[in-house]
Structure 1
Amino acid sequence: MKLGNAVLTAENLIAGYGEHAVCGPLDVEVFSGQVLGMVGENGAGKSTLLRTMIGAQAAIEGDAHVLGLMPDDRSALFRSKVSVLLDEDAYFDSLTVREHLSLVARGHGLANPDAAVESEIEFFELQTVADAFPDQLSSGQRRKLLLASAFIRPFELLVLDEPEQRLDTRMRGLLAQRIARTAKKNAAVVMVTHDADVAQAACTRAVIVDAGGARVVSTDEAVARIRR
């Protein structure tokens, strides 16, 4: 089956800080319809590698490309095609849950933003706090708000750093299913995860980050690594 052009590529990519290499080199291509999981021990460098793959920090060596271009989150084209949820909480204290989602939906030109907002509120079970401000939410509810903000907008690449954080088991399962469905609808997904069930349900391939290295493996091997 012809996959077409890769949405994300990494070539001999080494991630780290300054001159200190944390992990790599990594060579991988991610195509539309695929979910690439990144797994490994805490501190192995998964998030650092993920950030380097999307240009959020400079590579020590090698290259990464998103949709054939060098990633640049200052670029309007990059921002229109790539939806990113990293490990930091990014929201406006003065906006309610519904207002946050409406801002994102309208900013990305959704045809029916109000319906999209209500759909995300329902999926992430935020109905009782839809008119609450971020500081009135639990940590799990804030995580759901950030996930809803990532999903509500159009994208060709979805980047998630431990999306299962602070979610209960049921919501983790629903999220994994949604990630898999999202990829099948003509998107690529790259995510860091520590949850074996999420990886099993969502990922088509994975990268194990370990002992300074990064290698592409099957989902089954990645799941076994998480569970060992």
Structure 2
Amino acid sequence: MTSTDASAPVVELRAATRTHGSVQVLAPTSLTLHAGGAAAVVGPNGSGKSTLLRLVAGADEPTSGSVRTLGLPAARARLRRREDVTLLLDGLPTYRDLTVAEHLQLVSSAWAGRHDLAGVAETLAAAELDRVRDQFPAELSSGERQLFALATTLYRPARLVLLDEPEQRLDSRWRTVARRLVGRALDAGRTVLVATHDSGLRDDVAARGQVLELAEPGRR
């Protein structure tokens, strides 16, 4: 299988594990996602959800088994195919002196020629953030910052979307907004892998893809 093979899965884990010292933080896990596919990764805290996303992103490497992203070993894809992957794993780095709207404009400019998503105003409206467009990220509430991080992540014109608990710090109304934003990514034919504790988001993704349930710690 080569990186130019159009039939190659976008994400492929084969009995992938991750161990830190003597502690196995991800039990053997297999998953295949093709273009436009979706999977919700669920399980209790400590079951390896974030670890799995880090492996797919190429930010970590499996202790055993294999992880391929976009037809390449994930660590190599991180270097060679970074334009095709957008991820929200450890929060969103921001510039202190750029407003919310200017951050999105920067993304659009950085990917000029590839960026064919909605405009800044429409994107902020969809995330219900239009009223804070001229504020700096540090001035936002925790929920607003989370929606801003999600909206900015999805504004990248990438084929593969990796999201680690995008519902964090969101109340029920804003969780609905987050689910709608993820749904728009799926409508656009993007491949989505999301770790979540939110039952509504899990069910939305399951209706259009699959659910991967990781084992409870100590019961592997």
TM > 0.5: yes
- 1:147 pairs with 132, 145, 150, which one? 150
The reply on whether 1:159 has 2:175 as its aligned counterpart is: no
Q: How far apart, CA to CA, are the structure 2 residues paired with 1:198 and 1:113?
A: 26
Deviation at 1:74, TM superposition (A): 5.2
Stretches of structure 1 that go unaligned for 5 or more consecutive residues are 216-228
Q: How far apart, CA to CA, are the structure 1 residues paired with 2:142 and 2:151?
A: 14
Contact 1:35 1:180 in 2 (8 A): no
The reply on whether 1:93 has 2:96 as its aligned counterpart is: yes
**What residue number does 2:69 align with?**
66
Q: 1:181 to 1:148 in 2, by over 3 A?
A: closer
Stretches of structure 2 that go unaligned for 5 or more consecutive residues are 1-5
Q: 1:36 to 1:213 in 2, by over 3 A?
A: farther
Q: 1:181 to 1:137 in 2, by over 3 A?
A: closer
**What residue number does 1:205 align with?**
210
The reply on whether 1:30 has 2:33 as its aligned counterpart is: yes
Contact 1:106 1:113 in 2 (8 A): no
Q: When the two structures are aligned, how many residues end up with a matched partner? A: 212
Q: How far apart, CA to CA, are the structure 1 residues paired with 2:74 and 2:140?
A: 33
Deviation at 1:20, TM superposition (A): 3.0
Q: Secondary structure at the match of 2:61?
A: coil
Deviation at 1:181, TM superposition (A): 3.8
Runs of 4+ in 1 over 4 A off after TM superposition: 110-115, 212-215
Deviation at 1:186, TM superposition (A): 2.2
The reply on whether 1:190 has 2:193 as its aligned counterpart is: yes
Contact 2:46 2:216 in 1 (8 A): no
Deviation at 1:177, TM superposition (A): 3.5
What is the aligned-residue identity percentage?
34
Q: How far apart, CA to CA, are the structure 2 residues paired with 1:214 and 1:10?
A: 21
**RMSD across aligned C-alpha pairs, in angstroms?**
2.5
The reply on whether 1:50 has 2:53 as its aligned counterpart is: yes
